Structure 1
């Protein structure tokens, strides 16, 4: 059994803000799994819906405690279901990566995110999966609060939509396989520097050799100075 929690702030005024991409993801996943509005229950200071991914039972959660107190909801949920931190998957926004970029992590610190900081405080363990959706850095002169509580630009809206669609199978992979498999399969790959071909290496070596020879000739003909 897994808990899949998206972080955000309750209320219509926050629904389309950057801080609520976790809620947006949960809503998209719920729609894909056929969860209806009537299936959501109010429990543990959260909106909760039971469903399945493959043969695995999962509980979708949208904490209603406001972002900075997310752990007050998720801690009791884990205790109620007698689950370990490893059974928790948290989807949240991340300012440290560009808008629409994704990262999946197996564990880690809060990294300055107050929602994750609250979960760490209430769960007491860093070993839970984090699914991060980039929202980019604040504009010049903007505070962090203004940035995260603002909506996405027209340019970024399709990027976020694509990121959420891309992450649905990634989170399903965490549930049906494990987080290592999902990280390997869905995390963006680092670009490797192209290796030089044997021909290019030989050409570079010849060039260096010629340069040494020319330098030697120049030194032989250089006039002596007193």
Structure 2
């Protein structure tokens, strides 16, 4: 079994914000794999389907970003999904808009959603697809920046990054994550 988690905040207010880029990737994967996100349980919305003989789960935690681990851990426990079979998709301030970076493990880098996952999963050894949102201009608070929308001149690059993240997830279903990293980094 594989679990693909996209981090974000629930509700229309946050829909097109930088912090919700993980949700956007999950929405695209839902269309690509024809996996409806209709089940609400474990403080999240999810769906699953068997792809190439393996069950694939898509999850959007509805706990708000800072409590994401409260949704991911129960899904993993209930379905007995190994940490080796989890990938988390989220926004990253240290990567320029339109770029993605894949990692097999790591710290939180100041990201509160990842802090929550580290606390609830008890390990930093989970796969990540980080999507660049860039840093705010001087004087703009980080919270306001990540909860704001993309500028018009960033939108095409961001859509490309979402497409690349979807392709990376597709590749991971049939290839080792290290090979996927080598392809997409």
CA shift digits 1:32-51 (9 cap, x unpaired): 11234xx5110100001012
Counterpart position of 2:142: 144
CA-CA distance at 1:81 after TM superposition: 1.2
Residue aligning to 1:120 = 118
Shift of 1:56: 1.9
SS of equivalent residue, structure 1 residue 91: strand
* Equivalent runs, 1:1-226 vs 2, <5 Å: 1-36=1-36, 39-187=37-185
Distance in 1 (CA, whole Å) between partners of 2:98 and 2:52 is 27
- Structure with bigger strand share is 2
CA deviation after TM superposition for structure 1 residue 53, in Å = 3.4
SS in 2 for 1:109: coil
2-structure distance, mates of 1:164, 1:93: 11
Counterpart in 2 of 1:215? Answer: none
CA contact (8 A) 1:6 1:90 kept: yes
Supply the RMSD in Å over aligned alpha carbons: 1.0
Larger Rg: 1
**Displacement after TM superposition at 1:154 (Å):** 0.4
Using the size of structure 1 for normalisation, the TM-score is 0.79
Of structures 1 and 2, the one scoring higher in RCO (CA 8 A, sep 6+) is 2
TM-score, length-normalised on structure 2?
0.97
Number of equivalent positions: 185
CA drift of 1:72 comes to 0.5
The alignment partner of 1:172 has SS state of helix
More moved, 57-66 vs 161-170: 161-170
Which runs of no fewer than 5 residues in structure 1 stay unpaired?
188-226
Shifted more, 11-20 versus 171-180: the winner is 171-180
1:170-219 deviations in whole A, cap 9, x for unaligned? 112222212101001111xxxxxxxxxxxxxxxxxxxxxxxxxxxxxxxx
